[in-house]
Amino acid sequence: MSETGTNGPTLRAIAVETLTAEQAAEELKALALEIAEHDQRYHQEDAPTISDADYDALRRRNIAIEERFPDLVIADGPSAQVGAAPASGFGKITHRVPMLSLDNAFNDDDVRDFVGRVRRFLKFDPLMGALAVTAEPKIDGLSLSLRYEGGKLVYAATRGDGTTGENVTANARTIKDIPDQLNGTVPEVVEVRGEVYMAHKDFQALNERMEARGGKVFANPRNAAAGSLRQLKSEITASRPLRFFAYAWGEMSEVPDDTQSGMVKRFEDWGFQINPLMKRCETIEELLGVYHGIEENRAQLDYDIDGVVYKVDRLDLQERLGFVSRSPRWAIAHKFPAEQAFTVLNDIEIQVGRTGALTPVAKLEPITVGGVVVSNATLHNEDYIKGIGQDGEPIRDGKDLRVGDTVKIQRAGDVIPQIVDIDLEKRPDDAQPFEFPTVCPACGSHAVREKNEKTGRVDAIRRCTGGLICPAQATEKLKHFVSRNAYDIEGFGDKQVDAFYKDGLVMSPADIFTLEERDKRALTKLRNREGWGALSAKNLFEAINSRRDIDLHRFIFALGIRHVGAGNAKLLSRAYGSWANFSEAMQAAHDEAGEAWAELNDIDGVGHIVAEALVEFFAEAHNRDQLDALLTEVSPRDAEKIDASGSPVAGKTVVFTGSLERMTREEAKAMAERFGAKVSGSVSKKTDLVVAGPGAGSKLKKAQSLEVEVISEDGWFDLVGA
């Protein structure tokens, strides 16, 4: 704490209004040092030595002095540096309430279907009044969750995988639109969610500065916003013109309003920026009018949007509607049509994926589409390129694409570039039909199109037969294994996979977890390799060891089994509960017959194709060998059991059959799982309950023959108390 030296009392005790210029300059220096020290202790050492109130008082005093003596402001003082850079990368924060994504609508009929589904689910009688729905622009930025306790910002986290996000608190504090202290009276716990974005004029100015300094420019405002928020040094984020719109919430100790529109207005009262284009509508025509109005004026907005989001306004109806899979039933995103442009197809490149699939990629003359420079586009498969199927008939959307063609491209959903048309009048005279390779470009093995013996159809995808000898497949499988929705090992990305595989250090998933032990015996240590050092090697080994135990669904997904995506992995995880149960069941179903095979196919949402892929994976000896090696190093965690204490159907196997009138089959499944039940697609002796609607046939008869309890749809609602 600074002193005057001559007058006796400390400068801190002197009111800002009575400070002299000399005293103010000295006090600003003292405040800068003190605040920086507390920032260090709070953000990097997690050991604050003063209360939040005392810290805030220091900052308020600093601001007051700067406002009175603007010529004395320290360039790199507290006002220029908010927070402190994380010590090493970003920590992880688990969302108290998951940050889910939205289902999409792509045309007006999809919106009418959405409103119709909502009305049917709620059995909404027109006599009850209008079904109000809000409409607001869908900001193309980075989702962020802000948690406040006692009105004070506690932490900020990115969406991440919806369950766990990155801790970007220090960086979020630098964004002017994000208040550190909320205005007025607020609930004790407030979790506000919204979008971090960058305005067009700010984006352009930033890129001009980056280019002038010889730095890398950003492809679009969203990338610029995401890259700026994820800086390891918060002073860099503070120098970037980021903004924030608030539009949703997570955990709330008390919900202060009963409507979506009312809650958003509360955000504004608390000090947040909300989108002025948000509107409450009472008819489908109003909703579509807002959508088309925003669409027509999209180019005039100073920020990127990719659609309009609709949300049922009443919160009690939102609660009744609930969620299905990864999305709420009460909201949907109405996406804008993809933007289009013409360019030249310079080449067709073949890439080999982790399943051996040969995927053609269009190499385009770079062109800007929707604010992004596009140089590649998907071409799907060889029939798509030829425009003709194996039977000699033209295929839907087939193109007869040739190198040199002038093509119209669009970014489907404003994300994935694809070719939608060809200007044949501009085709070069010497353009030749593209010859799809019959050997793998990565290993030289034969590439074939398999024939399904049951259907007689030839697979649209040509695949490499090289298997484990194909380096492209091996590295792609490893990249999938460490990807975000799988093991998500920090510091172990595509670049590391390629380098380690090339050097023979990591050839299989198990090798990842033995890398540290082998490194201790190696003549050339990882820390001594090019691009590595003692700290980076240590961090990698710590990151690997921290992932030896992961959730069962992540482990299943990481194996890269064909047709088993993140969603199916979660279904399997919930159905079997543990790795031991899952592995035993898959091996027991090897002959595609018997009880284990039937149970696998009965998992609602899995299906015959996925079941076959699972059985085939476990039937391969080399796959089992790799699993045995991997499981000596890692331990998949058992699936979390749904807390449905008190539910009359918890732990029971339920089958829905017939025409359900109060809910769709998907809604019925979601409801049953919410109450702790397991939904099956067929009736067996293990079935506990059958819910039969009108027109129920063979499943109802089998239930009656097995003396399984059968109830109506109304009986189901009475049973679960919904």
Q: Is 262 exposed, middle or buried (0-12, 13-18, 19+ CB in 10 A)?
A: middle
Q: How confident is the model at residue 86 (pLDDT cuts 50, 70, 90)?
A: very low
pLDDT at 602 over 80: yes
Pick the CATH number of 653-720 from 1.10.10.60, 3.40.50.10190, 3.40.50.10440, 3.30.1330.60: 3.40.50.10190
Catalytic option among 123, 138, 216, 426 = 138
Predicted TM-score (pTM) above 0.85: no
Instruction: Please say whether the beta carbons of 345 and 402 come within 8 A.
Output: yes
- 127 in Cβ contact with 173 (< 8 Å): no
Least confident among 116-125, 205-214, 432-441, 542-551: 205-214
Q: Is the pLDDT of residue 678 over 90?
A: no
Plot region of 440 (φ>0 → left; ψ -120 to 50 → alpha; else → beta): beta
Please report how the helices 509-521 and 621-631 are oriented relative to each other, as an axis angle in degrees rounded to 10: 50
pLDDT exceeds cutoff 90 at 313:
yes
Please identify, in words, the CATH class of the domain defined by 11-72.
mainly alpha
Alpha-carbon distance of 398 to 379, in angstroms, equals 10
Best-predicted range by mean pLDDT among 157-166, 261-270, 435-444, 652-661? 261-270
Domain spans, the chain: 11-72, 104-335, 340-448, 470-547, 551-637, 653-720
Closest by CA to 194, choosing from 275, 265, 270, 256, is 275
Structure tokens at 687: 């079935």
281-290, 422-431, 601-610: which range is least confident on average?
601-610
The answer to whether residue 467 scores a pLDDT higher than 70 is: no
Q: How confident is the model at residue 143 (pLDDT cuts 50, 70, 90)?
A: very high
Task: Tell me what percent of the residues of the chain surpass a pLDDT of 90.
Answer: 43
pLDDT for 593 equals 86
Examine the pLDDT at 49 and tell me if it is beyond 70: no
Report whether 252 contacts 187 (CB < 8 A): yes
- Determine phi and psi for 631, rounding to 5 degrees: -75, -10
CA distance 153 to 145: 11
* % the chain with pLDDT above 70: 89
425: pLDDT strictly greater than 70: yes
CB 329 within 8 A of CB 118: yes
Within 13 A of 275's CA, how many CA atoms are on the CB side?
27
Asked whether the predicted pLDDT for residue 413 surpasses 60, the reply is no
Return the higher-pLDDT residue of 253 and 51: 253
Confidence of residue 82 (pLDDT cuts 50, 70, 90): very low
Model confidence at 55, pLDDT cuts 50, 70, 90, reads low
689, β-bridge pairs: 654, 709
SS (H, E, C) 520-582: HHCCCCHHHCCCCCHHHHHHHHHHHHCCCEEEHHHHHHHCCCCCCCHHHHHHHHHHHCCHHHH
* Ramachandran quadrant class, 64 (left: phi over 0; alpha: psi -120 to 50; beta: rest): alpha
Q: Would you place residue 368 in the very low, low, confident or very high pLDDT band (cuts 50, 70, 90)?
A: low
Cβ neighbour number for residue 336 with a 10 Å cutoff: 18
Fold match between domain 104-335 and domain 470-547: no
- In the Cβ-directed half-sphere of 163, how many Cα atoms lie within 13 Å? 5
Mean pLDDT on 100-119: 91
Question: Amino acid letter at 181?
Answer: Q
Q: State yes or no: pLDDT of 214 exceeds 80.
A: no
Residue 666's pLDDT is: 75
Q: Are strands 406-412 and 416-422 parallel, antiparallel or unpaired?
A: antiparallel
Query: Which fold would CATH assign to domain 470-547?
Result: DNA polymerase; domain 1 (1.10.150)
In this prediction, residue 219 carries a pLDDT of 75
Q: Among all chains, which residue has been given the structure tokens 């009472």?
A: 282
Alpha helices in 244-314 (DSSP H): 260-270, 284-296
Fold of 340-448: OB fold (Dihydrolipoamide Acetyltransferase, E2P) (2.40.50)
Residue pair 241/198 in contact (Cβ under 8 Å)? The answer is: yes
Instruction: Give the mean pLDDT of 262-278.
Output: 97
Tell me which of 26-30, 205-209, 604-608, 610-614 is least confident.
604-608
Q: How confident is the model at residue 698 (pLDDT cuts 50, 70, 90)?
A: confident
Place of tokens 């484990």: 468
Q: Pairing mode, if any, of strands 305-312 and 279-281?
A: unpaired
Q: What mean pLDDT is predicted for residues 183-212?
A: 91
pLDDT of residue 398: 63
Question: What does the pLDDT read at residue 350?
Answer: 95
Over residues 409-431, mean pLDDT? 81
Look up residue 282 and give its two tokens.
Answer: 């009472």
pLDDT at 41: 59
Residues in the chain: 722
**Taking 50 as the threshold, does the pLDDT of residue 327 lie above it?**
yes
More confident: 581 or 213: 581
Give the fold, CATH level 3, of 104-335: D-amino Acid Aminotransferase; Chain A, domain 1 (3.30.470)
The closest of 710, 617, 592 to 657, measured between CA atoms, is 710
pLDDT-based confidence at residue 32 (cuts at 50, 70, 90) = confident
Range picked from 296-305, 334-343, 582-591 for highest mean pLDDT: 582-591
What pLDDT does 353 receive? 86
Q: What is the per-residue pLDDT across 67-81, written as a single tens digit (0 to 9) for each?
A: 888 888 887 777 655
Confidence of residue 643 (pLDDT cuts 50, 70, 90): low
Tokens of 174: 């630098």
Alpha-helix runs per DSSP H in 271-332: 284-296, 315-321
Give the class (CATH, top level) of 551-637.
mainly alpha
What is the pLDDT of the chain when averaged over all its residues?
A: 85
138 belongs to the catalytic site: yes
Cα–Cα distance for residue pair 378/369, rounded to 1 Å: 15
d(CA 185, CA 462): 63
Structure tokens at 537: 């090697």
Quick: pLDDT tens for 492-534: 999 999 999 999 999 999 999 999 999 999 999 999 998 899 9
Q: 669 φ, ψ to 5°?
A: -60, -45
